[in-house]
C-alpha cells in the first residue's frame, strides 16, 4: 500500500501540498511535497542515529544490508508493477534492476565483513630511535556522518532509494537522507518501506534512513546545505548537478559532492577492425545505442571512424540497423522533450548531415543518426554534449592524426571504447595515454552499456562525467567515498575503535 508520504525517522509524514506522479500507464497518485522543514527533521534524526549506527560493528551493518535486500525481494512483484507503470520500463528490465540492487547490497555486506576496505595501517613505536623517538601510530577509515542521496530518473532501483549511493553510505556506517525522484515516487516509497522494515526488525535507530519525496528545488538546496549533512551522492543532469555542486562548495563548511553528470561515451573504430568487422560493430552499436530508449549514462552516442569506403559501409549498416528499431517510451515527458531538443541542437550544427531521421512525439523516442567531419566536430564544442536518448553521431576523421586530435578534444567521460584488431595496435598505443586520461573505464571490442557491480569497476571519470575523478559510484570502492582516514597516536588500546583492537 502506498502512503504518498515521506518517511522521516520511522514515521510516515504528510505535507501541506502534494504532487501527482506521471505514470506511463494507469492512474496518477498523489505524493507529499518535500520542504526544508522535512529536510531539517530528517537531517537531525540522521545525526542522532550516527552516534550509534556510525559506531556499529561491521557484522551489524552487513546484516542490515542483507535484510534490506530480503525486504526488497519480499515486495518484488509490487515494486515491479508500480515501477513499470511509473516509468514505462518493461517488467523484465525492472526485475533485472532489482536483482542488481539486492545483489549490490549483498556484495557490500560481504565486502565490509572482510574489513580490507578499512585500509588499516600500523607503525609501531620506536622509543629508542635517534635523534627522536617515533610514537605508535595506527590509521583506519572512519564514517563521515549523515549523507544525502538524490535519486536518479533513469534507474528507479539501482541508482535511487536503496541504490549504489545509499548502499555505499550505509555500508560505511553513515545514515542516509534520500531525496526521491519525482519520476517514480511510488517505486521509491515501496523501497523505503523495505528499508524501514529492516530497521525495525533489527532494532536500529529510526533516523538511520529517511526518504523525502519530490519537492521543489528549494528542498534539494536545503538538503545539500544543511550543516549536519557531510556528503552528497547524485546521479543526474550536468546543469542540476553543477548547481548542487556549487552549493556544496559555497557552504561555510564545504562538503564533497559525488555527482555523476553525463557522458557521450565515444567509440573509436580503428581501421583494421572497421574493415574486418564493420558490419558486426554497427549492429552491436545500434543495440547498445537504443537499449532502454538510450536512457543509460553509458550510452555510446559517438562513433569515430577514419573517412574511407569502410566508413561508408559502416554508416549504411548502422542506418539499416537503427531503422528497424521501434519507438520506445521514455521515462518522463520532460526527458522526451529534452531528447527532441538535443536532436534539434545536433541537426542544426555546422556541417552535420542527417543519415537517419524519424518522427517521435509525446513520451516516445525513435532513433536518429547523424554524421559530421572531424574538422567540423573540432570546431563545435556543442557536438560533444550528451543527448539523453537513442541518438548517434558518427565523426569522420580525415586520418589517424585527426583521430588522435579528436580524442584529445574530448571532455571527461565515463567510458571510452576502442574497436581494435591486432593490426591496429600501433594506433591504439598512441590513443591509450590520451583516452585513459579522459575516462574512468576504457573498453576494447565491446559496448559500454551495462556496468558490472564488482571490486574492479570504476563508474566515474574526469569532469563533467563526474565531479570527483578519484571516486566511483559503482563497485565496492564506492564505499570509500563516505569514509575518511583517522590516525591514532599513542592511544591506549581500550580507547581504539573495535576494528583496531
**Residues catalogued as catalytic:** 260, 297
Contact between 399 and 374 (Cβ < 8 Å): no
Task: Please give the distance of CA 407 from its chain centroid, rounded to a whole number.
Answer: 24
Q: How far apart are CA 297 and CA 461, in angstroms?
A: 12
147-157 as b/e: b if 16+ CB within 10 A: bbbbbbbbbbb
Contact between 446 and 472 (Cβ < 8 Å): no
Residue 242: CA count within 13 A, CB half-sphere: 7
- Phi, psi angles (nearest 5°) of residue 91: -60, -40
C-alpha cell at 286: 545500434
Q: How far apart are CA 284 and CA 445, in angstroms?
A: 10
Find where cell 527532441 sits.
340
C-alpha cell at 234: 547524485
> Is the Cα dihedral 137, 140, 143, 149 positive or negative?
positive
Pair type for strands 368-373 and 257-260 = unpaired
Contact between 413 and 437 (Cβ < 8 Å): no
Q: How far apart are CA 338 and CA 17, in angstroms?
A: 27
Q: How far apart are CA 338 and CA 452, in angstroms?
A: 28
Find where cell 522521516 sits.
8
C-alpha cell at 275: 574493415
Q: How far apart are CA 409 and CA 427, in angstroms?
A: 17
**Which is nearest to 206 in space by CA: 38, 42, 31?**
42
Residue 8: its H or E element? strand 6-8
Contact between 194 and 68 (Cβ < 8 Å): yes
**Residues, the chain:** 501
* Residue spans of alpha helices (H) in 162-270: 164-172, 185-202, 217-225, 238-250
Neighbouring CB atoms inside 10 A of 493's CB total 8
Find where cell 512483484 sits.
77
Residues with Cβ within 8 Å of 277's Cβ and at least 6 positions away in sequence, in order, are 419, 421
Indicate the DSSP class of residue 493: G
Amino acid at each position: 500500500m502506498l502512503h504518498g508520504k515521506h518517511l522521516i525517522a520511522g514515521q510516515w509524514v504528510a505535507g501541506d501540498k502534494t504532487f501527482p506522479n506521471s505514470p506511463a500507464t494507469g492512474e496518477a497518485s498523489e505524493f507529499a511535497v518535500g520542504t526544508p522543514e522535512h529536510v531539517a527533521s530528517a537531517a537531525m534524526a540522521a545525526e542522532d542515529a550516527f552516534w550509534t549506527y556510525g559506531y556499529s560493528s561491521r557484522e551489524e551493518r552487513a546484516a542490515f544490508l542483507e535484510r534490506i535486500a530480503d525486504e526488497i525481494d519480499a515486495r518484488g512483484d509490487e515494486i515491479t508493477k508500480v515501477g513499470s507503470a511509473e516509468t514505462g520500463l518493461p517488467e523484465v528490465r525492472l526485475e533485472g534492476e532489482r536483482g542488481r540492487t539486492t545483489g549490490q547490497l549483498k556484495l557490500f555486506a560481504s565486502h565490509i565483513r572482510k574489513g580490507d576496505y578499512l585500509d588499516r595501517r600500523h607503525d609501531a613505536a620506536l622509543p629508542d630511535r635517534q635523534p627522536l623517538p617515533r610514537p605508535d601510530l595506527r590509521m583506519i577509515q572512519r564514517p563521515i556522518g549523515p549523507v544525502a542521496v538524490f535519486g536518479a530518473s533513469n534507474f528507479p532501483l539501482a541508482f535511487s532509494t536503496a541504490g549504489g549511493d545509499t548502499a555505499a553510505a550505509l555500508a560505511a556506517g553513515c545514515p542516509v537522507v534520500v531525496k526521491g525522484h519525482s519520476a517514480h515516487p511510488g517505486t521509491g516509497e515501496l523501497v523505503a518501506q523495505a528499508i524501514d522494515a529492516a530497521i525495525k526488525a533489527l532494532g536500529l535507530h529510526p533516523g538511520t534512513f529517511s526518504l523525502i519525496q519530490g519537492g521543489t528545488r528549494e528542498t534539494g538546496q536545503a538538503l545539500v546545505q544543511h550543516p549536519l549533512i557531510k556528503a552528497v551522492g547524485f546521479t543526474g543532469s550536468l546543469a542540476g548537478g553543477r548547481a548542487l555542486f556549487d552549493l556544496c562548495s559555497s557552504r561555510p563548511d564545504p562538503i564533497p559532492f559525488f555527482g555523476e553528470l553525463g557522458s557521450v561515451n565515444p567509440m573509436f573504430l580503428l581501421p583494421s577492425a572497421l574493415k574486418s568487422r564493420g558490419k558486426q560493430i554497427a549492429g552491436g552499436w545500434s543495440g547498445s545505442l537504443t537499449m532502454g530508449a538510450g536512457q543509460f549514462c553509458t550510452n555510446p552516442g559517438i562513433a569515430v571512424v577514419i573517412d574511407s569506403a569502410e566508413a561508408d559501409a559502416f554508416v549504411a549498416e548502422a542506418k539499416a540497423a537503427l531503422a528497424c528499431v521501434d519507438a520506445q517510451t521514455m521515462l518522463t515527458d520532460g526527458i522526451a522533450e529534452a531528447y527532441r531538443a538535443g536532436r534539434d541542437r545536433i541537426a542544426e550544427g555546422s556541417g552535420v548531415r542527417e543519415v537517419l531521421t524519424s518522427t517521435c512525439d509525446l513520451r516516445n523516442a525513435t532513433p536518429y543518426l547523424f554524421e559530421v567531419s572531424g574538422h567540423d566536430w573540432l570546431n563545435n564544442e556543442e557536438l560533444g554534449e550528451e543527448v539523453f536518448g537513442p541518438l548517434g553521431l558518427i565523426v569522420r576523421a580525415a586520418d589517424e592524426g585527426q583521430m588522435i586530435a579528436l580524442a584529445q578534444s574530448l571532455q571527461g567521460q565515463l567510458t571510452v571504447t576502442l574497436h581494435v584488431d591486432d593490426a591496429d595496435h600501433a594506433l591504439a598505443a598512441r590513443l591509450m595515454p590520451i583516452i585513459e586520461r579522459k575516462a574512468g573505464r576504457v573498453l576494447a571490442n565491446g559496448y559500454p552499456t551495462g556496468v558490472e557491480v564488482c571490486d574492479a569497476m570504476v563508474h566515474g571519470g574526469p569532469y563533467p562525467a563526474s565531479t570527483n575523478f578519484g571516486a566511483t559510484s559503482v563497485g565496492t570502492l564506492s564505499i570509500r567515498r563516505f569514509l575518511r582516514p583517522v590516525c591514532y597516536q599513542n592511544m591506549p588500546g581500550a580507547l581504539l575503535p573495535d576494528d583496531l583492537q
